[in-house]
Amino acid sequence: MLPAILARAAAGGVSHMLCVSVTLEAFPEVRALAEQHDNIFASVGVHPSERDVTEPTPEQLLALADHPRVVAIGETGLDYYRSEGDLRWQQERFRNHIRAARSAKKPLIVHTREAPADTLRIMTEEGAREAGGVMHCFTESWEVARAALDLGFYISLSGIVTFRSADALRDVARRVPADRLLVETDCPYLAPVPYRGKTNEPSYVRFVAEQVAQARGTSPDVIAEVTTENFFALFQTATRQGPNTSTRHTA
């Protein structure tokens, strides 16, 4: 199955990919995938909505990030959508990731859902600007995007930008500075139109790029070139080994 997915990605012009860790239990598999493929990179982190998993300390994250194929810390952040009660555990987890990223000098992959104020507050309090990073699978308002940009972060758009109801997000896509723009799939979730509701995969990122290009009044090739350069500017330990093709990146 994986060889076919990677073949479709290559055929679709995707030359490099980032496989994102969501638990420490799954991290060895993520790292192994990056070790086996020159054009796949890894991150290390624990998703904010994951419960009953190993709780990462900054020291653990820092040790696991000390690997040439690990280019980022995360996925981390805050997700209040399905969470109730005292969420200080989620906030402390986020703080630990930021502390690790600052020490590792590797960027953060930040998830925020129904928690923009707390997300931005903690990023500011913990000095996330020092590490830098990306607001992954961005779904918030332009005001939140602008605040994240002011902290030095990139904005990454997923298949959600292709959904009929996503006019506000397409406005964000139009307004983000070109040198802070990224596109992604967030696969296997959130497949873009025309595959909405199906299992997402890296090759589908071209539909995200096409929608972003339309919103910005430019071509998909321009978006591919810009987001490729931005990917390597952000994830500075990632190398350009692998297929020499124009690329759209997944995260």
Say how far apart CA 147 and CA 243 lie, in whole Å: 36
Span 74-107, pLDDT tens digits? 999 999 998 778 899 999 999 999 999 999 999 9
- Within a domain: residue 111? yes
Q: What is the pLDDT along the chain (251 residues), one digit of tens a residue?
A: 899 999 999 999 999 999 999 999 999 999 999 999 999 999 999 999 999 999 999 999 999 999 999 999 999 999 999 877 889 999 999 999 999 999 999 999 999 999 999 999 999 999 999 999 999 999 999 999 999 999 999 999 999 999 999 999 999 999 999 999 999 999 999 999 999 999 999 999 999 999 999 999 999 999 999 999 999 999 999 988 755 433 444 44
Span 33-51, pLDDT tens digits? 999 999 999 999 999 999 9
Place of tokens 């296997």: 188
- Within a domain: residue 243? no
pTM of the full predicted structure? 0.95
- Within a domain: residue 241? no
Helices (H), the chain: 2-11, 27-36, 58-65, 88-104, 116-125, 128-131, 142-150, 167-175, 205-216, 220-234
Tokens standing for 6?
């990677």
- Within a domain: residue 96? yes
- Within a domain: residue 38? yes
Phi and psi angles of residue 171, each rounded to the nearest 5 degrees, phi first: -65, -40
- Within a domain: residue 188? yes
Cβ pair 71, 18 in contact under 8 A: yes
Phi and psi angles of residue 198, each rounded to the nearest 5 degrees, phi first: -100, 170
CATH of residue 120: 3.20.20.140
- Within a domain: residue 74? yes
Number of domains, the chain: 1
For residue 172, the enclosing domain spans 2-234
- Within a domain: residue 242? no
Distances in Å between the alpha carbon of 30 and those of 69, 73, 246?
A: 10, 13, 24
